[in-house]
Amino acid sequence: MTDEALNDLTEFHWMMDMLQTVDVGLVVLNREFEINLWNGFMESHSGLLPSQVRGKSLFALFPEVNEAWFRNKARPVFELKNRAFIIWEQRPFLLRFPNYRPITGTEDYMYQNITLSPLVSTTGKVENICMMIYDVTDVAVGKKVLESTQVILSELNEKVAEKTVPANRVND
């Protein structure tokens, strides 16, 4: 084996290791929405091994996913080679993963942002898409706390305003 081939093989090995250990869920789905790749993040948060999900329908494994809605969301990814996004403000989660911080966490489920990206084959066609799942629970909780605090502050300001008599008010 040449040095260049060995270097290429080493880099490929590193890439595979990174895909398994990155703190982002990676799922490759074919046009029938069968799972072809399931990384370590997905295994850890779903409790399902890659061997248990490979070749199985996403919708059969996760009945909480609205099949018609998700197919519609993924259609432009397959047909137009465009990315699609699902954000937690629109849909708190796609896959109902439990919050993995049960003691410090205040939410039952993981809030998720999702990116659907086309995987263009050597023929130029998109036969598979990559679904990237980001855990945004901390961001969601922070925003919810901020919004709640803003409501409380607004209510307090209204109460203070009601009790405050303007200094330039003339007695009737």
Per-residue pLDDT of the chain (172 residues; tens, 9 = 90+): 888 877 777 776 677 777 676 789 999 999 999 999 999 999 999 999 999 999 999 999 999 999 999 999 999 999 999 999 999 999 999 999 988 765 556 778 999 999 999 999 999 999 999 999 999 998 888 887 888 788 888 878 887 878 875 656 555 5
Where b means 16+ CB within 10 Å and e means fewer, 21-37 reads eeeebbbbbeeebbbbb
Per-residue confidence (pLDDT) for residue 4, from 0 to 100: 82
Q: φ, ψ for residue 167 (rounded to 5)?
A: -65, -30
pLDDT of residue 140: 87
pLDDT computed for residue 170 by the predictor: 55
User: Sign of torsion, CA 163 167 168 172?
Assistant: positive
Q: Are 17 and 11 in contact (CB under 8 A)?
A: no
For the chain, list the domains and their CATH numbers. 1-135 (3.30.450.20)
Q: Which two tokens stand for residue 110?
A: 């993981």
Q: Which helix (H) or strand (E) holds 119?
A: strand 112-120
The predicted structure's pLDDT at residue 130:
98
